[in-house]
Amino acid sequence: MPSSLPLFLAGPLLRRATKNEICLWAITSSRLEADFSLYASESSTPLFSASLANTHQIQLGESCFALLAEFKSESGFPLDTPLDYDIEMDGQSLIADLEASCIPEKRVPHF
- Domains present along the chain, CATH in parentheses: 8-72+80-101 (2.60.40)
pLDDT digits (tens, 9 = 90+) for 25-46: 999 999 999 999 999 988 889 9
For residue 41, the tally of other CB atoms under 10 A from its CB is 12
pLDDT at residue 111 in the model: 63
pLDDT at residue 3 in the model: 61
Confidence of residue 104 (pLDDT cuts 50, 70, 90): low
Res. 97: pLDDT tops 90: no
Res. 63: pLDDT tops 80: yes
